[in-house]
Structure 1
Amino acid sequence: MRTLFTVLGALALLLPFSCKPSNASSSESPRDVLIYGRGKDSISLDPAAASDGESTKVMDNVYETLVDFSEDPARPAELIPCLATSWEEGKDRLQWTFYLRKGVRFHDGTPFDAQAAKFSLDRLISGGEWGPQTAPYRGNFVDVKEIQAQGSHTLVIRLRRPSVVLLRNLAMFCASIVSPTAVKKEGRQFGDHPVGTGPYRLQSWKKDVRVTLTRNEDWWGDFRPKLRTIVFLQVRDWPSRRVQLEAGELHMVDNVVFQDIQNLNQAKGVEVQVKDGMNVCYLTLNNEKPPFDHPLVRKAVAMAMDRARIVSRGYFDFARPARDLIPPTIPGHSEDVAPPEDLDGAKSLLHKAGFKPGTSVELRVMNNPRPYLMEPDKVAELLRDQLAKIGFVVRIKKLDWASYLRGLQEGEHQMALIGWTTDNGDPDNFYGPLLSGDLVGGTNYSRMRNAQFDALLREARGISDPKARVQAYAKIQDILRKECPLVPLVYTKIASAYRSDVKGFVRHPIKIRLARVYRE
């Protein structure tokens, strides 16, 4: 009953704006309102501090970046202007100049200008009120030497070394431009009171229930969003979300459980979009904790993986096996970074490492689905069974999403199921956040520290020739073959379902954009 009351509560908030007659059913809501069902609440709406998908899907509609990704489904990773109308690279490749859009204001009325852009990016790199350890994406900007505001609408970024990924990093949600006025007012609570320049603004946030956005009537864009209100409603379990979608109480859901896609396609009044994702699900191994502080043990775990079984049993064939962090749609992908399945070979490596059969280890898993892990329990059980074949006794520990992430960042785990969806469509956005030594305590959950890896990663960021850059990543992959800090498992498809009266939605592999969505 709690779920039903939650939906009714979300609708009750909208009643003052509704022209529906008083005897309208609970499944009805104004046509300019969209109720988006999801399994988990956001953690923070501060782009400098957040790293989880439930937060970014809200922030994608509240904030904007200097550079953005194209909305054209045929070219989703192409860069286009946003808060910067144009930009140019200096001849020495160590300076970028951005010419900013004029006449833009933040939701609180603060003018957007070069000082605001500088404030936002400086804060991202430094960690702002929280310090550098809380800025999960600061590693993407280690090449930035200095940011200067030149006049009111010109921003200059100076680099320590050339970077071919700077523009892509500036299109990521973490580089969203925030209101300096609001940050100075709210301090550490800014993530609860976000203020950007985007097409929607925060109306209210009741934690673990709903986030309500309302249209920004002063948005600078060349069209007016048709939805007046968007409610991100937490409905924890998938069966409830599915039932409420079919009943029309929810208008859109993501993280669709793959085994239900066929049934949803046949449901009256429901449509489903399934697309290839730019993501990876992997098993992170804590390189600082026994027994995974030994590279032979880590490699043995990788050799125990039956990826074909994981794809069929855990993903109902809506995925493909992965042996590299980089998905096949991104340059630099390799098919053989992780070793193939070989149980006898795995046992031999464990013997060399002095591993004792029957050793108990803990496998952590989140209690809610992710785009790369729709069935956390099922996949965890598959891994448990596979590792039992080489002598591990695996204890599965389920945690809520916030506690799960915090434990990974603090290194509490031995091993854990986790994944990554690219923020910019570049190979650097996989190897950098997930394995850079600078991000131990952040998104480097494997806690690998390898100076040679970090140096090669920095070198690859500055290579502009595509073929030479792929060769640079091949050197990085050689280190990963030796160290095996984590175990790539699968690349998954992504699925969204929505009512047939919802129009204008195109699932983007990087961002969840709702400004062009409307209901007929």
Structure 2
Amino acid sequence: MLNRRTVLSSAALATLPLALPELALAQGRKDSIVLAMALEPSPGLDPTGGAASSIAEVTLYNIYETLTKINPDGSVTPLLAESWEISPDLTTYTFKLRKGVKFHNGEPFNAQAVKFSFDRAGGEKSTNKDKRTFANLTTRVVDDHTVVILTKEIDPDFPFLMGQATSIIVEPKSADTNATKPTGTGPYRLENWVKGSSVKLSKWDEYRNAASIKLRRATFRFIADPAAQVAALLAGDVDAFPRVTPRSVGQFKGNPRFQVVVSGSRAKTILAINNKKKPFDDVRVRRAVNMAIDNKAVIQGAGDGYGVPIGSYYPPSAPGYVDLTSVNAYNPDRARALLKEAGVTGPIDITITLPPPPYARQGGEVIASQLSKVGINAKLQNVEWAQWLSNVYGGAHNYDMTIISHVEPFDLNNFAKPNYYWNYESAKYNELYNKYKTTGNAKERLKLLGDIQRLIAEDAPMAFLYQPQWVTVASKDVKGLWKDMPIFCNDLSSMSKA
């Protein structure tokens, strides 16, 4: 599944029951919790080194911390920074840092660690998916507990960005091994990672606010199969399953043992199109693909009704949203006419590459059926997450179409990235986006944001499907679950068991 940027997810089946000692912990102890995830972190536990949202789901605010913290309602509050000041022109941020904070290895947290983290994130060798953002920052150390950040791109949401997983503060000496031996300032440390099965975190007793942390141990199990997800919850092997497969929800509604939480999101589920593959290098063909797809049917088939149609790469819950669902609205006759206009005289044979999440596999079946009605014959190819990351998202870009959810709130910069996986290139977009990023006037920024959404809708570099709603099923005794999810996060510091 895919924070300004793209987030994707990794997968591993884990359908075997937990060992008996762990079951006892899950069911009998109030200071331990077992959470489940459909997708395993990949390639490691460093959110600055991979695009998978599942990395942050395990590590953000648990192992690693950031200068600011994003809350379930989207508000931003201090975390490693006690406070900050913003210059009138929105280009200079002065952060006052907490004193007495240290990393898990005993090294001090200070302004030098902040500078190292952000210079590393924007450096030549960076694999941070927000590399462009950090490359435009200049970080200056004033003293051990004061840091000034200068940004070339004006962004009123900068404090929000500072709370995302790509902005974690790392310890310089241990940064290179964070993928397997994560070292942060958070309330939990890695206890064990059994690849393909589970990650265990244990409370760090030297955490500055250790007394406020209720859970001593948290186990994240990886269960990709929907039937196994249901079985684990019903058996009591799992205390909570954030973002469970929606198709299973009906079995838990009305059951007094469980709570069902439906969350809003900033995510966009799309049918990504390789814009360099013929005939999809023609905008008329891409628009035809959009018009061949009935979004409401896809929402029902892929998300079991949990979703809202979108007409551009921007969700209805975000500030400045423009409803563009009419631009390429469902119209098979118009789709066929556009294909003919583009010189497509016979059937188009393509492959839709589908990563493991059920919304992709289920949605693929619906979309393939719809495309066939306008002369696009789609073969469905199921792949594991590592294959998807390498062949689709990675440098190979060896695909025709794929279904994926981009879950980060502000990631319009993806369209300006050279060689991004959907291979969209537009000088007009780059000019418009750069203007947006360097304009401080709030009214003008909203106008530019609307223009950006319209341009993307008209260029149709992908088929815009829906804004998903996430569903969490949990035991009724689990407290502190996020109601809404502006970012993907399982914040253990707020959780407890009654």
TM-score between both structures, scaled by the size of structure 1:
0.87
Q: Secondary structure at the match of 1:115?
A: helix
Indicate whether 1:514 and 2:486 are aligned.
no
Q: What stretches of structure 1 of length at least 5 have no aligned partner?
A: 15-23
Q: Secondary structure at the match of 1:7?
A: coil
Equivalent residue in structure 1 for 2:101, among 100, 104, 117: 104
**Counterpart amino acid of residue 430 in structure 1:** D
Equivalent residue in structure 2 for 1:436, among 374, 398, 416: 416
Equivalent residue in structure 2 for 1:126, among 123, 129, 148: 123
**1:512, 1:26 → 2: CA distance?**
19
Q: Which residues of 2 match residues 309-320 of structure 1 at below 5 A? A: 309-320=297-308
Q: Secondary structure at the match of 2:173?
A: helix
> Does the CA contact (< 8 Å) of 1:358 and 1:392 recur in 2?
yes
**Counterpart amino acid of residue 506 in structure 1:** W
**1:366, 1:498 → 2: CA distance?**
26
Q: Which residues of 2 match residues 102-251 of structure 1 at below 5 A? A: 102-126=99-123, 131-132=125-126, 134-144=127-137, 146-183=138-175, 187=176, 189-221=177-209, 223-251=211-239
Paired position in structure 2 for 1:306? 294
Paired position in structure 2 for 1:354? 343
**1:403, 1:221 → 2: CA distance?**
41
**Counterpart amino acid of residue 466 in structure 1:** A
Name segments (4+ residues, structure 1) moved above 4 Å. 2-6, 24-27
**Counterpart amino acid of residue 171 in structure 1:** G
CA 1:288–1:401 in structure 2 vs 1: closer, same or farther (change >3 Å)? same
**2:465, 2:429 → 1: CA distance?**
22
Structural RMSD (CA): 2.1
CA 1:223–1:468 in structure 2 vs 1: closer, same or farther (change >3 Å)? farther
Shift of residue 94 of structure 1?
A: 3.0
Shift of residue 161 of structure 1?
A: 4.4
Equivalent residue in structure 1 for 2:439, among 463, 473, 496: 463
CA 1:207–1:25 in structure 2 vs 1: closer, same or farther (change >3 Å)? closer
**Counterpart amino acid of residue 456 in structure 2:** L
Paired position in structure 1 for 2:402? 416
Paired position in structure 2 for 1:491? 467
CA 1:87–1:366 in structure 2 vs 1: closer, same or farther (change >3 Å)? same
Cα deviations by residue, 1:388-445 (Å, 9 ceiling, x for unpaired)? 01101101111111221222222111111011112xx4xxx13113x1234x3xxx43
Shift of residue 241 of structure 1?
A: 1.8
**Counterpart amino acid of residue 346 in structure 1:** A
Paired position in structure 2 for 1:380? 364
Cα deviations by residue, 1:456-485 (Å, 9 ceiling, x for unpaired)? 212212334433212102222342233211
Paired position in structure 2 for 1:51? 51
**Counterpart amino acid of residue 458 in structure 2:** K
Shift of residue 25 of structure 1?
A: 6.3
CA 1:222–1:459 in structure 2 vs 1: closer, same or farther (change >3 Å)? farther
Indicate whether 1:81 and 2:59 are aligned.
no
> Does the CA contact (< 8 Å) of 1:165 and 1:461 recur in 2?
no
**1:293, 1:264 → 2: CA distance?**
45
Paired position in structure 1 for 2:18? 7
Paired position in structure 1 for 2:10? none
Paired position in structure 1 for 2:457? 481
**1:172, 1:363 → 2: CA distance?**
31
**1:478, 1:493 → 2: CA distance?**
24
Shift of residue 48 of structure 1?
A: 1.3
Q: Secondary structure at the match of 1:147?
A: strand
**2:172, 2:293 → 1: CA distance?**
48
Paired position in structure 2 for 1:19? none
**Counterpart amino acid of residue 455 in structure 2:** I
Relative contact order (C-alpha < 8 Å, sep 6+): which is higher? 2
* Alignment length (residue pairs): 479
Shift of residue 150 of structure 1?
A: 1.7
**1:94, 1:35 → 2: CA distance?**
43
TM-score between both structures, scaled by the size of structure 2:
0.91
> Does the CA contact (< 8 Å) of 1:274 and 1:493 recur in 2?
yes
Shift of residue 91 of structure 1?
A: 4.6
CA 1:136–1:236 in structure 2 vs 1: closer, same or farther (change >3 Å)? same
CA 1:161–1:280 in structure 2 vs 1: closer, same or farther (change >3 Å)? closer
**1:436, 1:79 → 2: CA distance?**
27
CA 1:390–1:87 in structure 2 vs 1: closer, same or farther (change >3 Å)? same
